[in-house]
Amino acid sequence: MLESPPAVLPLRYPQLWKDYALLDSGNGLKWERFGDRVLQRPEPQALWAPVESQAALRKSTHWRFESGGSRSGQWLGSGPGSAGDRWSLSYQSPALKLRFQLAMTAFKHVGLFPEQADNWEFIAGVLKNWTGGPRVLNLFAYTGGASLAAAASGAKVYHLDSVRQVVDWARRNADLSGLDGLHWVVEDARKFVQREIKRGHLYDAVLMDPPAYGIGSSGERWKLEDQLQDLLEEVRQILVPERHAMLVNAYSLGLSPLILRSLLGRWYKNQEMECGETALQDRHGRFLPLGVYARVVRGEAWRNLEVSNTMRLV
Q: How confident is the model at residue 223 (pLDDT cuts 50, 70, 90)?
A: confident
Has residue 203 been placed in a domain? yes
3-state secondary structure of 155: coil
Q: Which of 58, 110, 61 is nearest to 84 (CA)?
A: 110
Say if residues 89 and 56 touch (Cβ distance below 8 Å): no
Q: Rounded distance, CA 161 to CA 45, Å?
A: 27
Has residue 185 been placed in a domain? yes
Q: Read off the pLDDT of residues 190-210 as tens digits, 9 standing for 90 and up.
A: 999 999 999 999 999 999 999
pTM: 0.92
Kindly state the percentage of the chain with pLDDT values over 90: 78
Look at residue 86 and tell me whether its pLDDT is greater than 90. yes
Q: Which of 8, 7, 15, 10 is nearest to 311 (CA)?
A: 10
In our burial notation (b when 16+ CB lie closer than 10 A, e otherwise), range 72-93 reads: ebebebeeebeeeeebebebeb
**The dihedral sign for the CA sequence 216, 220, 224, 228:** negative
DSSP 16: -
Look at residue 51 and tell me whether its pLDDT is greater than 70. yes
Q: Rounded distance, CA 96 to CA 10, Å?
A: 23
Look at residue 303 and tell me whether its pLDDT is greater than 90. no
Has residue 207 been placed in a domain? yes
Q: Tally the domains of the chain.
A: 1
Look at residue 310 and tell me whether its pLDDT is greater than 50. no
3-state secondary structure of 57: helix
Has residue 3 been placed in a domain? no
Look at residue 70 and tell me whether its pLDDT is greater than 70. no
The residue type of 288 is L
pLDDT of residue 67: 87
Look at residue 62 and tell me whether its pLDDT is greater than 60. yes
3-state secondary structure of 215: strand
Has residue 292 been placed in a domain? yes
Look at residue 49 and tell me whether its pLDDT is greater than 50. yes
What's 305's domain CATH number? 3.40.50.150
Residue 31: domain span: 9-313
Has residue 1 been placed in a domain? no
Which strand ranges, in their side-by-side order, compose the sheet holding 20-26?
Answer: 20-26, 29-34, 37-42, 63-67, 73-77
Has residue 195 been placed in a domain? yes
Look at residue 89 and tell me whether its pLDDT is greater than 70. yes
Q: Read off the pLDDT of residues 93-113 as tens digits, 9 standing for 90 and up.
A: 999 999 999 999 999 999 999
pLDDT of residue 9: 81
Has residue 260 been placed in a domain? yes
Q: Read off the pLDDT of residues 164-190 as tens digits, 9 standing for 90 and up.
A: 999 999 999 999 999 999 999 999 999
Total number of residues shown for the chain: 314
Give 31 or 84, the one with higher predicted confidence: 31
Q: For the ranges 50-59, 148-157, 226-235, 303-312, which has the lowest average pLDDT?
A: 303-312
Say if residues 15 and 122 touch (Cβ distance below 8 Å): no
Kindly state the percentage of the chain with pLDDT values over 70: 89
- The mean pLDDT of the chain is 91
Other CB atoms within 10 Å distance of the CB of residue 158: 23
